[in-house]
Amino acid sequence: MSAKIIDGNKIAKSIIESVKNKVKSMKEKPGLALVMVGNNPASEVYVNFKEKDSKEAEFYCERYNLDEKTGEMDLLKLINELNRNPKIHGVLVQLPLPKHIDEKLVTDSILPHKDVDGFTSLNLGNLLSEKTILAPATAIAVIKLIESTGTRIEGKNAVVVGRSNIVGKPVALMLLEKNATITVCHSKTKNIAEYTKKADILVVAVGKANLIKKDMVKEGAVVIDVGINRIGNKLVGDVDFENVKEIAGFITPVPGGVGPMTRAMLMENTLKAVELSSRVLQ
Ligand code: GUN
């Protein structure tokens, strides 16, 4: 049996359409600031997409491309200005930052209600209290893609491979909140296959091309591939898609799976940030 392919492009498109329609009826345009430091080629591609999406949805968008040598204090000053700017509802600083800048310090300088990436300590911490206001876009995308299959998460064995603060850990917490039984595998896990083979839901976010092979996957599993790896001119995920699709029940492709859905979730988070801005003292 061949897996059903989860079409992230299609689902994301309908979400972006609904964001656009909401924006049309808003008095004030959602304002998103995109900040990038240096010339990391992958970051440039991602930020270009985010800018294109926000323009298409008729957001008010400010983009800052700062020099690689920009000092930490100058970056913090810019974020402070954006925090105070009433036209800006969401502030996104693209990661990674150059080595001389403390990423955590910078991320935490964004006001939590403008943190459309959901990366501030407060927003990440809120994942524990089940009172999330702005959660990381990729993690929300993963949950929505699982739910799009009609799979009930409650009671399922969910295995997350990867423990990054921006994907693996938030996804694990969100699945736990939905009453799945969670296992998190990482680079020090002795025999990953032993765990992945038991997964009804398998989420992979490590950045290693084709790490997950067919014999590591349970028949009928929902497989969500967050990885984006470049092999020559081709983009591939962390899952050996061609072979795993023969055994999985549902699987996301790369490209066209989690990526477009993450972008759609960023747009939704920006709409949420507009709503939050009306509930905080300015
Ligand atoms: N770098 C890789 N993924 C992301 C993301 O989702 N947001 C930001 N700001 N940087 C990233």
Query: Could you tell me the domains of the chain?
Result: 28-111 (3.40.50.10860), 137-259 (3.40.50.720)
What integer is the mean pLDDT of 100-115?
98
SS3 258: helix
User: What is the pLDDT, as a whole number, of residue 30?
Assistant: 97
Please report which confidence band the pLDDT of residue 254 belongs to, taking 50, 70 and 90 as the band edges.
very high
**Of 151 and 278, more confident:** 151
Query: How high is the pLDDT of residue 281?
Result: 63
Mutating to test ligand 1, I would choose from 117, 134, 164, 268 the residue with most ligand atoms within 8 A of its C-beta, which is: 117
Across the range 256-266, mean pLDDT stands at 97
- Average model confidence (pLDDT) across the chain: 96
- What pTM value is reported for the model? 0.95
In whole angstroms, what is the distance from residue 116 CA to residue 94 CA? 11
Given a cut of 70, whether residue 282 has pLDDT beyond it is: no
Q: What pLDDT is stored for residue 13 in this prediction?
A: 94
Phi, psi of 44 (to 5 degrees): -60, -45
Q: Is the CB of 268 under 6 A from ligand 1?
A: no
Mean pLDDT of 256-263: 97
Lowest mean pLDDT: which of 112-116, 260-264, 277-281?
A: 277-281
Q: Which atom of ligand 1 has the smallest separation from the CA of 262?
A: 6
pLDDT of residue 133: 85
Terminal alpha carbon distance of the chain = 56
- DSSP label at residue 6: P
Catalytic residues: 50, 94, 117
Residue 61: the pLDDT is 98
Mean pLDDT lowest among 92-96, 130-134, 145-149? 130-134
Ligand 1 pocket, mutate which of 43, 46, 93, 268 (most atoms under 8 A from CB):
46
Res 279: pLDDT: 83
Using DSSP, state whether 10 is helix, strand or coil: helix
Give the atom of ligand 1 at the shortest distance from the alpha carbon of 94. 9
CA of 38 to the centre of ligand 1 (A): 14
Compute the distance from residue 173 Cα to the ligand 1 centre, in Å. Answer: 19
Q: Is the pLDDT of residue 114 over 70?
A: yes
